[in-house]
């Protein structure tokens, strides 16, 4: 099976209604259209679902990109999965791309030798009203298809993306020799650290921590490992080329010749490569849980703020009543002044107590709804019996 994103060539032509009407149109062919369904929509018909999606899209006025995601899932000639299997495949792919909670309309087409599903997805979340763009969708779709082919006994397609020059040779080294290339090692072990460096000095320190050196070679930069293995920085990632780094960090600064020797936290060796574990669905679950945590925390904080505001308003109302009483029944100017001062002090104390309580509640909410790192989340899942998470941890 193959899953492919079909981008809109022109943003001005982005039209969920047009796409949904196209994929659900039988075009006077009895055999063209199979099962049609709307997911995560309250509407009872496809046309009402389209209206509902358009209303959701209109809630986000800031997004400049295409708000519609067109996905095609195609099967090998002769394959006819059941309706339940098609629905399960659609659900897993959408969840894997981060669109599990998003509105979508899908239609099965039978008008070619290859059964295929058209899926029109609303990129705007129905409740948060934020626009979601999948992270590395080609890679995610390839890994999802590989897992689905295995799980549903489908004929396998080649999902390996084409790689350029040196990166392709590095992949060949890992595939045929069974040893880890320097490119692959950097991507798996320290690419985020390298990209996170905010100065040349910090970048050189990251290199030393990982047993490497950043050097100028010809007109570019190279990463050199302790055993002398070198790779161009731009081969690891395009935004690590010399021009890209200089645009971000300023003119290149070489590492000092005499630098205090530090013990590397890790370093590259041509070790046998570890078994790669497909984590795309796990990662989608992780991202969804982290987003839910953020949403739940925001909602809890909003409720706490409302409680604080109500308590403050009640305290001020009580203080106004107290001052009005003093004005009416207080005897003598000096006595009234003293009573007013006591009322003000009492109000300040009460407001301080309310704000202190809110700060304590806020701290507790952040602790309760704190986001986990990917590694910590995997550990938690593994401790609760998640076999896939345990396999992913062992493969790290």
- Six token digits for residue 141: 């779709």
Indicate whether 116 and 27 sit together in one domain: yes
Determine the pLDDT at residue 330: 67
The reply to whether 272 falls in a domain is no
Determine the pLDDT at residue 292: 83
Indicate whether 127 and 171 sit together in one domain: no
- Six token digits for residue 24: 């659900």
Determine the pLDDT at residue 173: 43
Indicate whether 145 and 37 sit together in one domain: yes
Indicate whether 19 and 116 sit together in one domain: yes
The reply to whether 354 falls in a domain is yes
Indicate whether 15 and 66 sit together in one domain: yes
From start to end of the chain, where are the E strands? Answer: 2-5, 33-39, 68-74, 104-109, 116-122, 212-217, 220-225, 230-232
Determine the pLDDT at residue 218: 82
The reply to whether 122 falls in a domain is yes
| pLDDT one digit per residue (tens) for the chain, 396 residues | 999 998 876 555 568 998 999 899 887 766 778 899 999 999 889 999 999 999 999 999 888 888 999 999 999 887 889 999 999 999 999 999 999 999 999 999 987 778 899 999 999 999 999 999 988 888 889 999 999 999 998 988 877 655 555 555 555 444 443 345 788 888 888 998 999 999 999 999 999 999 999 989 888 899 998 888 888 898 888 889 999 999 999 999 988 765 555 677 888 876 544 445 677 788 888 888 888 888 888 889 999 999 999 999 999 999 999 999 988 886 788 888 889 999 999 999 999 999 999 999 988 888 787 777 777 888 888 888 888 888 877 765
Contacts of 258 (CB under 8 A, 6+ apart): none
**C-alpha span between 182 and 188 (Å, rounded):** 10
CA angle 242, 245, 250 (to 5 degrees): 105
Determine the pLDDT at residue 11: 54
* CATH (domain of 41): 3.30.930.30
Residue after which a domain boundary falls, among 226, 249, 272: 249
Indicate whether 138 and 200 sit together in one domain: no
Supply the DSSP symbol for 11: G
The reply to whether 355 falls in a domain is yes
The reply to whether 223 falls in a domain is yes
Residue after which a domain boundary falls, among 91, 120, 152: 152
3-state helix, strand, coil in the chain (%, to 5): 55, 15, 35
User: What domain range is 336 assigned to?
Assistant: 280-389
Indicate whether 221 and 355 sit together in one domain: no
Indicate whether 293 and 369 sit together in one domain: yes
Nearest alpha carbon to residue 115 among 82, 157, 66: 82
**C-alpha span between 51 and 289 (Å, rounded):** 29
Determine the pLDDT at residue 160: 63
Residue after which a domain boundary falls, among 197, 231, 249: 249
Count CA atoms within 13 Å of residue 380 on its CB side. 10
Indicate whether 142 and 10 sit together in one domain: yes
Indicate whether 6 and 148 sit together in one domain: yes
Tally of structural domains, the chain: 3
Indicate whether 376 and 285 sit together in one domain: yes
Name the pTM for this structure: 0.51
The reply to whether 255 falls in a domain is no
The reply to whether 114 falls in a domain is yes
Indicate whether 6 and 121 sit together in one domain: yes
Rounded to an integer, what is the distance from CA 358 to the centroid of its chain? 31
The reply to whether 395 falls in a domain is no
Determine the pLDDT at residue 207: 92
């Amino acid at each position: 099976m193959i899953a492919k994103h079909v981008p809109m060539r022109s943003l001005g032509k982005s039209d969920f209604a047009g796409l949904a009407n196209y994929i659900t149109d039988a075009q006077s062919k009895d055999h063209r259209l199979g099962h049609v369904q709307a997911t995560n929509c309250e509407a009872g018909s496809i046309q009402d679902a389209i209206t509902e999606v358009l209303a959701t899209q209109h809630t986000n006025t800031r997004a400049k990109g295409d708000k519609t995601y067109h996905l095609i899932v195609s099967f090998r000639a002769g394959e006819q999965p059941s309706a339940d299997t098609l629905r399960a495949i659609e659900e897993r792919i959408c969840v894997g791309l981060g669109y599990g909670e998003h509105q979508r309309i899908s239609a099965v087409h039978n008008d070619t030798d290859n059964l295929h599903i058209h899926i029109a997805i609303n990129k705007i979340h129905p409740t948060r009203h934020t626009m979601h763009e999948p992270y590395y969708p080609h890679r995610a779709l390839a890994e999802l298809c590989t897992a689905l082919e295995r799980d549903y006994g489908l004929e396998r397609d080649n999902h390996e993306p084409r790689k350029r020059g040196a990166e392709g040779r590095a992949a060949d080294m890992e595939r045929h020799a069974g040893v880890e290339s320097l490119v692959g090692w950097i991507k798996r072990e320290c690419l985020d650290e390298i990209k996170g460096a905010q100065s040349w000095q910090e970048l050189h320190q990251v290199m030393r921590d990982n047993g490497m050196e950043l050097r100028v070679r010809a007109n570019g930069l190279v990463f050199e490992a302790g055993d002398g293995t070198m790779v161009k920085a731009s081969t690891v990632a395009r935004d690590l080329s010399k021009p890209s780094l200089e645009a971000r960090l300023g003119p290149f600064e070489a590492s000092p010749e005499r630098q205090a020797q530090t013990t590397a936290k890790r370093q590259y060796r041509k070790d046998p490569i570890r078994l790669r574990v497909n984590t795309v669905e796990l990662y989608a679950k992780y991202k969804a849980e982290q987003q839910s945590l953020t949403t739940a925390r925001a909602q809890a904080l909003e409720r706490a703020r409302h409680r604080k505001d109500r308590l403050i308003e009640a305290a001020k109302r009580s203080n106004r009543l107290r001052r009005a009483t003093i004005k009416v029944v207080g005897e003598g100017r000096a006595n009234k002044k003293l009573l007013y001062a006591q009322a003000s002090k009492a109000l300040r104390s009460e407001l301080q107590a309310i704000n202190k309580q809110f700060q304590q509640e806020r701290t507790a909410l952040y602790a309760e709804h704190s986001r986990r790192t990917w590694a910590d989340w995997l550990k938690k899942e593994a401790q609760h019996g998640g076999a896939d998470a345990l396999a992913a941890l062992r493969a790290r």
